[in-house]
Amino acid sequence: MAEMAVTGGEDRYTQIIFKGRLDTEGVEAIETAFTAHTAARRLPTIVDLTEVTFVASLGMGMFIRAAKSLRKHQAGMVLLGPCEPVARALRAAQIDEVIPIVGGRDEAMGALHVG
Domain ranges (residues) in the chain:
2-112
Predicted pLDDT of residue 33: 95
Spatial separation of the C-alpha atoms in residues 84 and 40, rounded to whole Å = 30
Predicted pLDDT of residue 115: 66
User: Which backbone phi and psi does 39 adopt, to 5 degrees?
Assistant: -60, -40
| pTM tops 0.85, yes or no | yes
> Which has the closest alpha carbon to 108: 65, 99, 84?
99
Homologous superfamily (CATH) of 2-112 is STAS domain (3.30.750.24)
Predicted pLDDT of residue 111: 92
Spatial separation of the C-alpha atoms in residues 46 and 39, rounded to whole Å = 13
- Give pLDDT tens digits along the chain (115 positions): 789 999 876 788 999 999 999 999 999 999 999 999 998 889 999 999 999 999 999 999 999 999 999 999 999 999 999 999 999 999 999 999 999 999 999 999 999 988 6
